[in-house]
Chain A
Amino acid sequence: MKNIQVYFKFEVNKVSFTPFRVPIVPQLKKNMILSMIEKGLRIDGRKPEDIRPIKIVTNYLDKAEGSAYVELGKTKVIAGVKMEVGEPFQDMPDLGVLTVHAEFVPLASPSFEPGPPDENAIELSRVIDRSFRELGAVELEKLVIIPGKKVWIVWVDLYIIDHDGNLLDASMLAALTALKLTKIPSYTIEGEDIIINKESAKTTLPLKEEAIYVHIAKIGSHFIVDPSLDEEVVADSRIAFSISRDGRIAGIQKMGQGGMSVDEIIKAMELAVTVAPKYFNAVDLVLNKEGNEG
Chain B
Amino acid sequence: MKYGETPQLIKEDGTRLDGRKPEDPRPIHMEVGVLENADGSAYVSFGKTRVLAAVYGPREPIQKYMVLPDRAILRVRYHMAPFSTGERKSPAPSRREIELSKVIREALEPVVITELYPRTMIDLFIEVLQADGGTRTTGVTAASLALADAGIAMRDLVSGVAIGKVNGVLVVDIDEVEDMYGEADMPAAMATKLGLVTLLQLNGVLTKEEFVQAMEMAKKTLEKVSEMQRKTLLEKYSSVLQV
Q: Does A273 contact B (CB under 8 A)?
A: yes
Question: Is the beta-carbon distance between A252 and B201 smaller than 8 angstroms?
Answer: yes
Which residues in B have their C-beta under 8 angstroms from that of A93?
Answer: 3
Look across to chain B and name the residue whose beta carbon is closest to the beta carbon of A101.
B95
Question: Is the beta-carbon distance between B204 and A17 smaller than 8 angstroms?
Answer: no
Q: Does B77 contact A (CB under 8 A)?
A: yes
Q: Does A38 contact B (CB under 8 A)?
A: no
Interface size class, chain A:
35 or more
Look across to chain A and name the residue whose beta carbon is closest to the beta carbon of B100.
A16
CA A20 to CA B63, docked complex, whole Å: 12
Q: Per-residue CB proximity of B104-125 to A under 8 Å, as 1/0?
A: 1110011000100000010100
Which residues in B have their C-beta under 8 angstroms from that of A251?
Answer: 202-203
Which residues in B have their C-beta under 8 angstroms from that of A247?
Answer: 208
Grouping DSSP codes into helix (H, G, I), strand (E, B) and loop, the B interface class, with mixed when no group exceeds half, is mixed
Interface size class, chain B:
35 or more
Question: Is the beta-carbon distance between B198 and A259 smaller than 8 angstroms?
Answer: yes
Look across to chain A and name the residue whose beta carbon is closest to the beta carbon of B105.
A16
Question: Is the beta-carbon distance between B205 and A123 smaller than 8 angstroms?
Answer: no
CA A20 to CA B75, docked complex, whole Å: 11
CA A266 to CA B73, docked complex, whole Å: 31
Q: Does B51 contact A (CB under 8 A)?
A: no
Q: Per-residue CB proximity of B26-66 to A under 8 Å, as 1/0?
A: 00000000000000000000000000000000000001011
Cβ distance B140 to chain A, nearest Cβ, rounded Å: 12
Which listed residue, A11, A16, A252, touches B76 by the CB 8 Å rule? A16
Binding site for A on B (CB under 8 A): 3-4, 63, 65-68, 72-77, 93, 95-96, 98-99, 101-106, 109-110, 114, 121, 123, 184, 186, 190-191, 194-208, 211-212, 215-216, 219
Q: Which 6 A-B pairs have the closest CB atoms?
A: A259-B196, A252-B202, A16-B101, A18-B73, A259-B198, A254-B200
